[in-house]
Amino acid sequence: MKLCTLSTGDTAYRYYKSIVVLFEAPRKVLSTSVMNGGYREDLTAVFNHDCNPGAGMACTLRAPTYEEHMRLVATDLGLDPDKATGIGTAASMDNVSVRKEQYEDLTVTALVTGGVEVNGGRVGDPATYYDPIDKTILHKPGTINIILVIDADLPPGILARAMVTCTEAKTAALQELMVGSNYSSGLATGSGTDSTIVVANPASPLYFESAGKHSKLGELVGRAVKDAVKEALFRQTKLSPEYQHSTLCRLKRYGITAERLWQDYQARGKDTVKARFLDCLYGFEREKRLVTYTSLYIHLLDQHDWGLLSAAEVCAAGKEIIELAGARYCGIEPPVIKSNDSKACLAAWAELILAILDSKFQQ
C-alpha cells in the first residue's frame, strides 16, 4: 500500500487503482486537473487514478460531468474533494515509475504512469474534437500522467516554469524512443490528454527563482521526468529502444505495416500463405543493417516535412540509400523512385522490403 516516502516527508500510497500523495504540511500545487486545478496552496493531497474498468470496456462517467466524476473518485479514496486535485489515466498504477534526482540539498521526485500506443500524437496534428459547451463526455484519459514533487520553495511563476521543463522532458523521452504519432506521420510529442501535477515545498529553506534548462533545478526535473517517462512506458507496454529497433516500428507512422505489405504482396499474385509471409517478414525486419537504412531513409522524409530538405534532395539521397540496401541484400535490383514526392519514396521502400522477402523465400 505504501509506495514511498518523499524527501518532503509526504507519503505516496497505492490503493484502489490510484496513487495518492498525502501532504504533511501546506504545499504549493500547480495542476492541469479539472478538479481544483491551476495554482493552489490549500490542498492536502494529490492523486493519479486508473479509470480503466477492464480490457475492452469503455471508461464511463459516474456523474454528469468529469469534474464531479473525479470528486467521487476522491471521496472513494478517503480524501476531501474540496482539498485534493487528481488526474485520470488508463494506465495501471502497478506500472508506475518513481525516479529521484538529487544535487546537494535539492531533491526532485517524479512519479509517472503512461502509455502512448493508442492516442500518442504530435502537437499540431489534425484534431476532430471541438465542443466548448459539453462537459459530460469522458474522452480517452490522459496516458502520460506526471506527479512531480520538488523539495524546494518556488514562487507561482517558477512553479509554472517547472511544469514547462517537465513537459519538455516528457517530449524528449518520446523523441529518444522515436515514438510515432497515431494521427500523422510525425513523431509524437505526448498524448492528447496528458496531465501533470507539480508540487513545491514552501517550508524548505531552499528558494529558487529559476527552473529552466540553465538551472540545476531544471536539470534535475529534466533527468527525473525523462527517465521516469521511459521506465513507465516500458512497464506499461514494453516500449523501449530494443522494442523500437525494428523496420516495421520505424515505418508504422508512414502507414507501412505488416498488413499493408501483405496486401501489396498479394496484389502481385504471389503464391504463399499469410503465416509464411509474416514469419519471413518478422524474421528479417529487425536486422541491424536494414533498421539502420530504414531510419536514415525516413529521416529524409521527416526533414522534407519540416522544410529542411527539398523533394529533389530527398529523392536523390533516398535513391543512394535504396541502392546500398539493395546491394547489401543479395544484390537485389533496387526499386526506382518514380517521382520527386514522399509517396513515391515510401512506395519504393515498401517495394525494397518485398524484394528482400522474395530473395529470402528463394534461399
Contact residues for 163 (Cβ-Cβ < 8 A; gap 6+): 30, 148, 196, 198
Q: Tell me: the pLDDT tens digits for 94-126?
A: 999 999 999 999 999 999 999 887 778 887 777
Residue 200 pLDDT: 98
Which pLDDT band, with edges at 50, 70 and 90, does 31 fall under? very high
Residue 135 pLDDT: 52
CA gap 39, 157 in Å, rounded: 10
Please state the rounded mean pLDDT for residues 175-194. Answer: 91
Residue 359 pLDDT: 85
Please state the rounded mean pLDDT for residues 279-302. Answer: 95
Residue 265 pLDDT: 92
| pTM for this predicted structure | 0.92
Residue 212 pLDDT: 95
Nearest one of 21, 24, 151 to 74, comparing CA atoms: 21
What is the secondary structure of 100-167 as a DSSP string? EEEETTEEEEEEEEE--TTTEE-TT-------SS------SPPSEEEEEEESSB--HHHHHHHHHHHH
Helices (H), 184-273: 216-237, 241-244, 247-251, 258-267
CB of 111 closer than 8 Å to CB of 228: yes
Which pLDDT band, with edges at 50, 70 and 90, does 141 fall under? low
How confident is the prediction for the chain on average, in pLDDT?
A: 91
Residue 93 pLDDT: 96
Residue 126 pLDDT: 76
pLDDT over 90 percentage in the chain = 76
Least confident of 130-134, 196-200, 316-320: 130-134
Residue 103 pLDDT: 97
Residue 138 pLDDT: 52
Residue 118 pLDDT: 76
What is the secondary structure of 258-324 as a DSSP string? HHHHHHHHHHTT----HHHHHHHHHHHTT-HHHHHHHHHHHHHHHHHHTTSS-HHHHHHHHHHHHHH
CB of 63 closer than 8 Å to CB of 137: no
Residue 342 pLDDT: 81
Which of 57-66, 178-187, 267-276 tops mean pLDDT? 178-187
Class of residue 44 by CB neighbours under 10 A (exposed 0-12, middle 13-18, buried 19+): middle
Where b means 16+ CB within 10 Å and e means fewer, 17-31 reads: bbbbbebeeebbbbb
Nearest one of 281, 288, 287, 291 to 250, comparing CA atoms: 291
Nearest one of 210, 103, 96, 107 to 146, comparing CA atoms: 96
* 97-103 vs 38-40, strand pairing mode: unpaired
Question: Is the model's pLDDT at 67 over the cut of 90?
Answer: yes
Q: Tell me: the pLDDT tens digits for 186-236?
A: 999 998 889 999 999 999 999 999 999 999 999 999 999 999 999 999 999
CB of 278 closer than 8 Å to CB of 361: no
Contact residues for 69 (Cβ-Cβ < 8 A; gap 6+): 61, 62, 63, 138
Phi-psi region of 238 (alpha: psi -120 to 50; beta: other; left: phi over 0): left
Question: Is the model's pLDDT at 331 over the cut of 60?
Answer: yes
Domains along the chain with CATH numbers: 2-239 (3.60.70), 247-362 (no CATH)
Which pLDDT band, with edges at 50, 70 and 90, does 134 fall under? low
Question: Is the model's pLDDT at 139 over the cut of 90?
Answer: no
Please state the rounded mean pLDDT for residues 316-324. Answer: 93
Q: Tell me: the pLDDT tens digits for 32-62?
A: 999 999 999 999 999 999 988 765 556 677 8
CA gap 137, 305 in Å, rounded: 34
Which pLDDT band, with edges at 50, 70 and 90, does 163 fall under? very high
pLDDT over 70 percentage in the chain = 94
CA gap 194, 140 in Å, rounded: 10
Residue 137 pLDDT: 52
Question: Is the model's pLDDT at 8 over the cut of 70?
Answer: yes
Nearest one of 238, 243, 245 to 294, comparing CA atoms: 245
Contact residues for 4 (Cβ-Cβ < 8 A; gap 6+): 11, 12, 98, 109
Contact residues for 55 (Cβ-Cβ < 8 A; gap 6+): none
Residue 53 pLDDT: 72
Residue 76 pLDDT: 97
CA gap 111, 100 in Å, rounded: 9
Nearest one of 186, 152, 144, 134 to 169, comparing CA atoms: 144
